Chains A and B, each alone.
Chain A
């Protein structure tokens, strides 16, 4: 309440009045719906306007986790989500660090390389996906020719599920490596150059400098990148939609939620829109994100205390 003197200090209502639209939109579009997801997960809500919504207790969760073939498919989608998260996080993190260190050197052309690697980030899943569908064109496309040259072959997104899934991981990393790199770069640029000079005078080689100076001082960006990569890849599925579509043996949880909640194909609202069930599935995914996120956060802050005191 300090320093408010507008309108001679009398128009105290003004800030309240002007903030109202923003606050209302936020509560209506984001906060309210977020909180009520749990509520919907205990109902049989559908996508039909005016249809009754009944309380069904834990039925959706039971069906999702413990009932027949469908729940076995759900659980393998859950496993696949974790696998996707593991591969994307480890590879994107390592390669992101590598290119960030490389483009942070005093070399000619680093600006060009930075811009090139970062560019896909802003293109979005549709363009990223279509560009790679073409690059992986199975009938003599560039990657097909390269693989043939080495005596290998792949059917890419039309191949066996595991193979298609693997290629989505490649595209996902290609598309988002730029973000990881940029965050590492921002961290690298906060490290004072005197530290490097001092280490060089002490005769440390490049690897020792990286291990003892760069890596510990990079801790904040390491934390940010790990958390962003883990949480992001657990929830990412747009590239699956563009590259493969909804196909058995390739689904991740995010795509599954969309498919049961809104129908697998686009079109008008039908009774197959099982939104209560989809809400339960999205709570399962949310708990997965929460557990992995907080566990990672716990170990990261313990490590940070050890390194930075």
Chain B
């Protein structure tokens, strides 16, 4: 008894309370995901009998079902194609714009920087953008759709600021060694700014992957649908068959989760850039 008394530490109520709140939030965050996984492994009759009962004999038929019925291979291919192409075009063009602007190698560098920042305070571009695409004949056209995602002012300013941290003496030394402008940007600068490029690229790609509104506006042929639009169509048809729908949602979630877990560091650094400096 006495020994027990000696090693007993004071109860840390603050710690207990903290964990209690954290766990309540964890339930609110994990609950919907657990429900999704649980439902995806059930059969439809089981789900109808009781929506919340835990799965007893899990089977993966729903995933096979969803993959075949939802036209997933096509939609996923489209999404990957749009995401990769637009992100590539964006990153390459943005670097070639950000470098001379950051260094002041061109006349009007400050004006260009200003034009990118002012865009955040202008009216939305939605309607005139549509009018432009319509007149260019790029409506319901994958090329037109990709073009919409080749700009990103926030990503541009992240690149400009990051390039400022690379010493300008490097440019001079390389130039004196006979390095050309193009070669410098692609072979020397690019490897040095890779962390910023990763941040910008991953944020941009996630935005395209998740986009729902623009495909609804611009792509009317089902063969061009990205996965987001495809999911909405699938929901319209299989809305009451939650086990299959849940499996479809999980198939769509998986690539995002993977990217998130691998690139978390870059995503977070992109979202907090400039947020704490005031």
Contacts and interface: CB of A to CB of B under 8 A. Distances in A.
A123 B32 CA distance: 13
B34 to A, nearest CB: 9
Say which size band chain A's interface belongs to: 35 or more
B96 interface: yes
Contacts of A295: none
B212 A115 contact: no
Interface string A253-274: 0000110011000111100000
B212 A6 contact: no
Interface of B: 14-15, 18-19, 21-22, 25-26, 28-33, 35-36, 39, 50-52, 89, 93-94, 96-97, 99-101, 103-107, 112, 115-116, 119, 121-132, 134-135, 139, 147-148, 150-151, 153, 168, 171-172, 175-176, 179-182, 184-185, 206, 209-213, 216-217, 220, 228, 231-232, 235, 242, 245-246, 249, 252-253, 256-257, 259-260, 264, 267-268, 271-272, 274-278
A134 B106 contact: no
A42 to B, nearest CB: 12
A130 B93 contact: no
Q: Is the interface of A mostly helix, strand, loop or mixed?
A: helix
Nearest to B169: A3
A193 B49 CA distance: 55
Contacts of B121: 290
Contacts of A124: 206, 209-212, 228, 256
B127 A126 contact: no
A123 B184 CA distance: 37
Contacts of A115: 264
Contact of B217 (A31, A116, A262): A262
A62 B134 CA distance: 27
A120 B242 CA distance: 20
Contact of B168 (A3, A47, A102, A127): A3
Contacts of B245: 130, 134
Given A131-B36, A142-B35, A241-B212, A182 B271 contact: yes
A19 interface: yes
Interface string A221-259: 101100000000001001001100000000000000110
A14 B171 CA distance: 14
A73 B130 CA distance: 26
